[in-house]
Structures are given as C-alpha cells and as structure tokens.
Amino acid sequence: MSAYDLHLLTLAGALASAAIGWQIVFGLSGALSLAAGTAMGLGAYAAVLLPLNLDLPYAAALPAAGALSGLALGCVALAAARLETHYFALATLAVAEAVLLLATNWESVTGGANGILGKSPPHWLIADEARALSALSATIIAILIYYSFKHFIGQERLALLRTQPLAAKAFGVNGAKTRLLAMIAGGICGGLGGAIHALAVGVVSPDVLQFKTMAAILAVVLIGGRRSPVAAVIASILVTFGPEYLRFLEDSYLIVYGLLLLATILFLPNGIAALFPKLSAVRFHKKQLTKVPVPYRTLLRSVNLKRSFGGLSAVDGVSLNLHKGEIVGLIGPNGAGKSTLLNLLSGLEHPDAGKIELAPGVRIGRTFQTPALIEEETVGANLAITGYPSQDQTLVKSLSQSERRFLELTRAREYANGLVLLDEPAAGLAPNERTRLAEEIRNIAAKSAVVVVEHNVPFVASIANRLVCLAEGRVIADGEPKEIVRDPAVVAAYLGVAIDLGADR
C-alpha cells in the first residue's frame, strides 16, 4: 500500500469517526444537528493548539480533543434542550457559523483564515502506518461509543423517540436528556475524528469548519445508512477514495458527488446498509417495570386545571378525581377540551394553573387518537418498552387499523400501574371488535382506573360507570351514565336529543 493510500485511509477513518458520531445524534436519537462538522473542526483545532500552546504531548492531546468537543456540543444541546426538529437544526447551524467566524477572526490564537501549522508529532506518530492505525483506533472507539449509547438508552426507547416523540414522552423517555447525551457522545466521536484529520494533514484552518465538512458527514451517513456504523466506515472509504478515481472529472467531481447524494436520498433512502442481509432478529432488552398494587382508593386528584392556547381557553377550571375500579367516560363536543385534559392528566402538557396529584406508585399508560406506534418495527419491539414478553415478529405497518388499536391498548395496559387513559379507542372498530374492547377495558378496570374519551356515546355509556361531559373546557355534568345522557345541559351542549339506554342496563 502506498504512502498516499495510507494517508487517504487515515482521512477516511477520521471521517468515519465523525460520521458515527452523527449517527448517534441523528440516526439513533433523531436530532437533526448541523454541528457535526463543528465537532470535527473543534477536535482538529484542539489537537493542534493544545500541543502548541500548552505543550501537551500528542498522546494526551488526541483524547483531550475528543473530550473538549464532547463538552462543547453538550453545551449546545443544553442551550437547545427545549427545541425540536428544525429549531434544533437551526440552533446548531447558528453555532456552527459562530464558531467559524471565531476561528477566522481570532487571529492571535487560531492564525485566522490561513490557519496554523501543527507541532511536529513525536517519532511514533510519524510513520504513515502509525497514523492509519490511530485512525483505526478512533473509528473503533466511535463504534464502541455508538453501541454503548444504544444499549444504555435502549433501542426501543430511541425508536419511539425518533418516530413518536409525543408517545415517547408519555412512556417516560426524556427527549432533552437523550439529546444531551447523544450530543456529548457524538461530539467525542467527532472530536476524535477531527484530531486524527489534523494529525494527518499537519495544519488546521477554518476550512474544516466550513459547511462542506458537515456535507461530507451527511453524505457518508446517507450513503451508508443512518443506523449502521459498519456501513458508515464503508461509505467513508468510498467518499474519500472516490474523488481519486474520479480525477478525470477534475473540478466537476464535487458536482457528481452532490448528484450521487441526491440520487441516494431519492432512490436508496436507507443507504447501502439496506443492501446487507439482516444478520439476526434484533433482540430487545426487557427491563421489567415494577408493578406494585397501589394501596389507595383515589389514584388521581386534580384541582382547577387550566390550559389555554394563545388566549383560547381549552381547559378552564376542571377538577377531577379518579378512583380505583372506575371506568370514566369523557364525552363532549369537538373542541370541548377532552384531548387537552387527557394530555394534562398524562403529563404531556403542563397546566397554566391548578395541580395534579398522583397517589404514590401510580404510573399512567395511555393511547392516542391516531395510534402512536413505531411503524417500521415489530409488535414485539413496540411492546418492549413495557417489558412485556412478546416474540411477535409481525411488522406494525402490516397491521390493520383495529389491530393497531389493540396493540396500543396492550402497550398502555402493560406500561401502566393503576391508571389507563384511552383516546377514542373504539374509532374504526367493527361491532364484534367493540365487544372485545369492552371486555378488555373491564379487565383493566378490575385493578385500575380507566378514562375513555369517546364520541360513540352508546358504547361508552354501556361500559362506563361514570360519565363526565366537557363543554368549552368546563365540566358541565358528572355522574351515572343513565342520568348524564338525559341531563338537559348535556343534551343542549352535545347530544341534541336524549339517549335512551334501554332497560337492559
């Protein structure tokens, strides 16, 4: 292998480390960070400046570069903790531009636009083989960090966070914390990659902080695959060596590169990793959730809850207590605040005023109007977050709408301890399926309280032992179903005509 090939291999390893770092942030955690190039750039500057200014030996400067970059990206994640999708992307992009400006203009330290020459490395790092080996080590460390992170958070929790952020929150996945850890882990990988890059080229300049570094990382991850470190390594080698074989194109090779990238996004959305055979069925770790009987009759107490959106009051002073063994039907016209109330009770939204108290040990499980499941995964994987043992390998996207409803119900039931909230569980179900649903709800209520938001009033009245009617954010009636469906206020606000539930009830 020629010295030049080894040099390219070193660069490929550096790029692979940074790309694996971005896989942790984007591929695993779903956070669209545009500061992956910045992580690499910070690592490169640290690896050059630490030996120059602090006389740090290279053996210490390389890991320090990774640590510093991880720290810096952690700070970015902290500042952007509350932001999602595009806001997060933009915040990281602004940081990237700010760092680039700083590197270009802080001439006394960074050497400005021309950059700065690194100290000559120690004898053991001079050989091309030694550098290639250090790049390999960085790549292996990045791969280890990737799998540690994935195992530490849990891949079913990460999948839920990526595809159903709201449901993830309902099932106790802390998005901000996960993004913070991902940015730190990704920053370390990127920093190491940058340090190796600086070592290989011997200088560092603002060039490495330009958007094109981010674009290269983007290309590697898209061509490789979002969640396959091995594919990222292959793609890094392709992207680094490719231009050498496209030399005849001269300057135009970057155009070809962009076109290839575009073609990959359009025609091979999962990258070359999709071409690999699946090695084995994915195993999910099952952390058993503690389920202890709650020794209280009242499971949830809420007082004077208020929530408004831009001056429009959605929930306006609702006080509601839920007791063990109760099936509470929550009814009311569209826009009455039913869904908002459910979000408040399950902690997805915070009330503007009022308070919610849960009895000790209570954990709320819930479903959503549109089932919030991980579409690309199996039934077993979807249930893994609850610790429920299921080997069902059926893919969720092949399930019918009603099968999804029942899967979501199982997930809520298994996750919950004491309280289950169901948002329109009967929507789209056939009559025989509704019977099965009623049976399941009664089973759950034997040990818990169940709240059912439902438009099918005869159905909900037939299973509930208490109906609560909301209108314009307020409780207008609360009591026995057969009373409520004849209540003049309920008839006027919602039903239009009184419903006769018949004598069989």
Partner 1 sequence: MLGSGYGVLALGFALTLRAAGAVNFAHGDVATMAAYGGVVAAAFGATGVMAITAAAFLGGVLGLIVAIITWAPLRRRPVEATFIAAIALGIVAQNSLTVGFGGAPRALPAIVDGGWHIAGVYLSAHGALSLVVAIAAFIGVATLLLRTRTGLRLRAAAEDPEIAAAHGLPVIGLAIFAFLLAGALAGLAGAILSNQHYVTPTVGAIYILKAYIAATAAGWGRILPTALVAVGIALFETIGAALVSQAAAEGALYLAFLALLAFRPEGLAGDIQGRRV
Which residues form the interface with partner 1 (CB under 8 A)? Answer: 32, 79-80, 82-87, 89-91, 93-95, 97-98, 101-102, 104-105, 165-166, 211-212, 215, 218, 222, 251-252, 254-255, 257-259, 261-262, 265-266, 269, 309-310
Amino acid at 373: L
Angle among Cα 427, 315, 422 to the nearest 5 degrees reads: 30
Closest CA to 36 of 59, 51, 16: 16
How many Å apart are CA 238 and CA 188, to the nearest integer?
A: 23
Q: Least distance in Å: CB of 101 to partner 1?
A: 5
Give 96 or 399: the residue with its C-beta nearer to partner 1: 96
Tell me whether residue 152 or residue 309 sits nearer to partner 1 (CB atom).
309
Closest contact distance (angstroms) between CB of 14 and partner 1 is 20
DSSP structure string for 209-278 = GSHHHHHHHHHHHHHH-TT-HHHHHHHHHHHHHHHHHTGGGGGGHHHHHHHHHHHHHHH-TT-GGGGSPP
| Angstrom distances, CA of residue 493 to CA of 317, 332, 490 | 18, 8, 5
Cβ closest to partner 1, residue 244 vs residue 376: 376
Q: How far is the CB of 358 from partner 1 (least distance, A)?
A: 25
Q: Which residues pair with residue 127 across a beta bridge? A: none
- Of 192, 38, 197, nearest in space to 103 by CA: 38
The least CB distance from residue 186 to partner 1, in Å, is: 16
Of 382, 350, 387, which Cα lies nearest the Cα of 367? Answer: 382
Nearer to partner 1 among residue 138 and residue 168 (C-beta): 168
Q: How far is the CB of 205 from partner 1 (least distance, A)?
A: 16
| Total Cβ atoms within 10 A of residue 277 | 5
Q: How far apart are CA 168 and CA 179, in angstroms?
A: 13
Query: Which is nearer to partner 1, 326 or 423 (by Cβ)?
Result: 423
Structure tokens at 56: 């740090």
Cβ-based neighbour number of residue 322 at 10 Å: 23
What is the closest distance, in whole angstroms, from the C-beta atom of residue 138 to partner 1 in the complex?
26
CB of 311 to partner 1, least distance (A): 10
Is the Cβ of residue 28 or residue 449 nearer to partner 1 in the bound state?
A: 28
Comparing CB distances to partner 1, the nearer of 252 and 435 is 252
